[in-house]
Structure 1
Amino acid sequence: MLRAVVLSLLVLGAAPCLARELPEQAPLWLQQEGWISACNNRRDCQLLYAPNIELAEPVNHLTLLIRSQAGPEGQLQLQLEHQGAPFDPAALRLDGQPLDPGLLAALVQEQESADSTRQQQYFRVDDQPLARQWLARLRSRQVLELPGEQPAQVLLKGLPDLLQGVDQVQQRQGTVSALAAPGEQPRSAVPGVRPAQAMRPYPGVKPLGTRERAGLLAAVQATLPAPKAEEDDDYVMPPRIEVYPLTAQQALVFEFSDCGAYICLFDISSRSRTAPYALQPLQMQALPEGSVDHAGGINYYPETGVLSSFLMGRGVGDCGEMASWHFDGQAFQLTDYRRMPSCSGLGYEHWPVLWSAEAPKRP
């Protein structure tokens, strides 16, 4: 993947202004004391406390996710996830004390999918006043705990500073919707977010013919070093090549090498669909800073113009990176990128998101 130009994070002022709008592009990533703070290009933010989980250890873990949408009408959601034997939320303790009955009543349990093999419980708080009551209690305490022989804990020490960081990114300081220290200014004082730039639809493409495919594969193969014999000490498996139609004139080429159980090194390029199958420019929006390039797996679907990549931190797929792009006939536009450094048992739908954009549907 092509390396991104580093997207600068703006230094945001402390006093929001009604007439001002937030810039669209501002991915933010921070790890601190077991917490992950991530804000995507739309300045929707997530705070996630997720411990690493060894596959062989007994499972009893708590994960806390706080989502804050950008803009004056942005919603706040809290989600508590537990892995282990089912428990009654009344067993939770905040600094050793039971939680208020009103806070417990605000927890709405989500049902785990029927095909799941993990012992997981999800509880969320969607009601806005109650979500803010929950947040007020959490930011003034040290630990949320599920007691037991091996207690499951969410350490809250660094939470106030992280909430303040989200307020700065979304310019909520001094407003009633501030997460760290609500003030007196109205919600309308929070800047809006500019609408996302519209993408061109995918125009479709004619499939590669047998002769085109054979010529492309031969042209790419000719650029590779001669394969080594299997008995050589420095033998490596020869690269695997995949070719796809991109436009009427261009083809997309993947070269995979040094493949392991679920990770390969790979290169992406574009070549002409006609002899001599020369290299062509390839426009592709790069990933936010801190991503891993040219490793993992990648797929392209010429029927839809969707390019996707994944990097799994381990075989069960509960950590790593995932991305997808939309091809608009000229360039690949990033539509989704999420990252999860902690192998915490969470599915990718709960991973922190650093980029989100909606691609137009084909007519």
Structure 2
Amino acid sequence: MIRPAALAVCLALFSVPAGAGDLGTVRTFQDWTAGCDNGRACTALNLLAEDGASIWFLRLDRNADAAAPAQLTLMPQSETYPRAGTLRLRAAGVDIATLRFGEGFRSEDDGLVIEDRKAVAAVLTAMRSADKLEVISAQQPAGTEVLASISLVGAKAALLWVDERQQRIDTVTALVGRGSKPASAVPAPLALPMAVPERTTDGGPPPETLAEATRSEMIRQSAGYCDEDRGGPDPDSKSMVRLGPDLLLASVRCFSGAYNFGRAYFLLEGEVASVRPALFPRPVEQKVEEDKELTPDNVLWNADFAPNSTEISHFAKGRGMADCGETGVWRWDGHAFQAVSMTEMNSCRGIMAGYWPSTYSSWE
């Protein structure tokens, strides 16, 4: 049976060896996590300490283009970080870069993107050899010089994994596995699929209620993978969308927990509804399983619809504070639901969903 606890267990995975073609996955290397999408665009970031001593983290993003630079972003995750003076970056007890506000870095998406290429090179060197990166602000009170301490334990392994995924090993473009091969040896990025255009709901509003026979048939079809205890009122029974004049997307409760609520979705067709599963394909590797039983493609966790739209999103939380899990977005193309995007975080260490590595992307 599928239960919310299964997600937390399965997301606590440590890294295992993977081939260069193993895209759409996320791996953890001690205090670092890395992931690459289906176009070989990769992200690596450090996980926060369990004691909550610092909420800053460092994120590296790199596209698959041979000439793409590594982008480094300091993420303060706080509105109270200094916005004047300088930030000094220190590794192994030595200052490696000085960044002035308004020079050398820019604010973007709640982070501080390091634009000074010498500073980027210095931080990358530290990531290959040091245990931590310290962020020091001249605005800090005396005696509390270090503003943030960012663990670099596992960073080198994460960067090597990114090099492998992007097939940069032994080239001059590699972050860790550098060699003499020219940038032209790096293969071109994989083409991303085109996203299905977002469609408005079709055929008018959904019905207020479903026939009991239809609901019973959905429960019967999902009995093998949903919890047995589904009796009593179903507060989300009205979460239905009209996909066409004679086609309805509806669902029944599959399980519920403290912070996850799962539903099994079905397509109901015709006046006397025929019932079949509504599939939300996962084009990348799945981690959610229990006793080797995979989550069926018609089950979504904490699903939500865009207003007046056939776009549906899912947010599987690994624990209540939602710092690990999986997100996904699908759109109806007139015949089936197609994936638009997916992200994943496999370690519950304080990184919120907006910063998780992308495992599947499309372009619009």
Identity of aligned pairs, percent? 24
Q: RCO greater where, 1 or 2, for CA within 8 Å and sep 6 or more?
A: 2
Q: 1:301 to 1:249 in 2, by over 3 A?
A: farther
Rounded to whole Å, the distance in 1 between the matches of 2:153 and 2:192 is 36
Stretch moving more, 180-189 or 195-204: 195-204
Q: Which runs of 4+ in 1 moved over 6 A?
A: 102-106
Rounded to whole Å, the distance in 2 between the matches of 1:10 and 1:81 is 28
Rounded to whole Å, the distance in 2 between the matches of 1:161 and 1:106 is 31
Q: 1:133 to 1:235 in 2, by over 3 A?
A: closer
Count the aligned residue pairs: 319
- 1:46 is displaced (CA, Å) by 0.8
Which of residues 210, 217, 226 is equivalent to 1:216? 210
Rounded to whole Å, the distance in 1 between the matches of 2:197 and 2:109 is 35
- 1:348 is displaced (CA, Å) by 2.9
Q: 1:243 to 1:220 in 2, by over 3 A?
A: farther
Rounded to whole Å, the distance in 1 between the matches of 2:88 and 2:116 is 22
Residues 202 and 329 in structure 1, CA contact (< 8 A), matched pair in contact too: no
- 1:196 is displaced (CA, Å) by 2.3
Q: Which residue of 1 aligns with 2:338?
A: 333
Q: Which residue of 1 aligns with 2:310?
A: 305
Matched, 1:40 2:37: yes
TM-score by length of structure 1 reads 0.73
Rounded to whole Å, the distance in 2 between the matches of 1:328 and 1:161 is 40
Which of residues 65, 85, 97 is equivalent to 2:59? 65
Structure 1 unaligned segments of length 5 or more: list them. 2-8, 13-22, 114-121, 226-233
- 1:43 is displaced (CA, Å) by 0.9
Q: 1:92 to 1:305 in 2, by over 3 A?
A: same
Secondary structure of the corresponding residue to residue 193 of structure 1: coil
Q: 1:237 to 1:319 in 2, by over 3 A?
A: farther
Stretch moving more, 85-94 or 191-200: 85-94
Which of residues 70, 75, 79 is equivalent to 2:73? 79
Which of residues 186, 190, 200 is equivalent to 1:190? 186
C-alpha RMSD of matched pairs (Å): 3.6
| 2:46 counterpart letter in structure 1 | Y
Q: 1:1-363 residue pairs with structure 2 within 5 A?
A: 11-12=19-20, 26-51=23-48, 60-83=54-77, 86-87=81-82, 90-101=87-98, 107-110=104-107, 122-128=111-117, 130-146=119-135, 148=144, 152-199=148-195, 201=197, 205-208=201-204, 213=207, 216-223=210-217, 237-239=232-234, 240-241=236-237, 242-256=239-253, 258-260=255-257, 262-275=259-272, 277-280=273-276, 282-286=278-282, 288-292=284-288, 293=295, 294=299, 296-301=301-306, 303-313=308-318, 317-342=322-347, 346-359=351-364
Rounded to whole Å, the distance in 2 between the matches of 1:336 and 1:80 is 24
Rounded to whole Å, the distance in 1 between the matches of 2:64 and 2:360 is 14
- 1:139 is displaced (CA, Å) by 1.4
Rounded to whole Å, the distance in 2 between the matches of 1:299 and 1:269 is 15
- 1:90 is displaced (CA, Å) by 3.9
Q: Which residue of 1 aligns with 2:7?
A: none
Rounded to whole Å, the distance in 2 between the matches of 1:49 and 1:340 is 12
Q: 1:187 to 1:220 in 2, by over 3 A?
A: same
Secondary structure of the corresponding residue to residue 302 of structure 2: strand
Stretch moving more, 84-93 or 35-44: 84-93
- 1:338 is displaced (CA, Å) by 1.1
| 1:79 counterpart letter in structure 2 | T
TM-score by length of structure 2 reads 0.73
Residues 43 and 60 in structure 2, CA contact (< 8 A), matched pair in contact too: yes
| 1:86 counterpart letter in structure 2 | Y
- 1:34 is displaced (CA, Å) by 1.6
Rounded to whole Å, the distance in 1 between the matches of 2:113 and 2:32 is 18
Q: Which residue of 1 aligns with 2:226?
A: none
Secondary structure of the corresponding residue to residue 35 of structure 2: strand
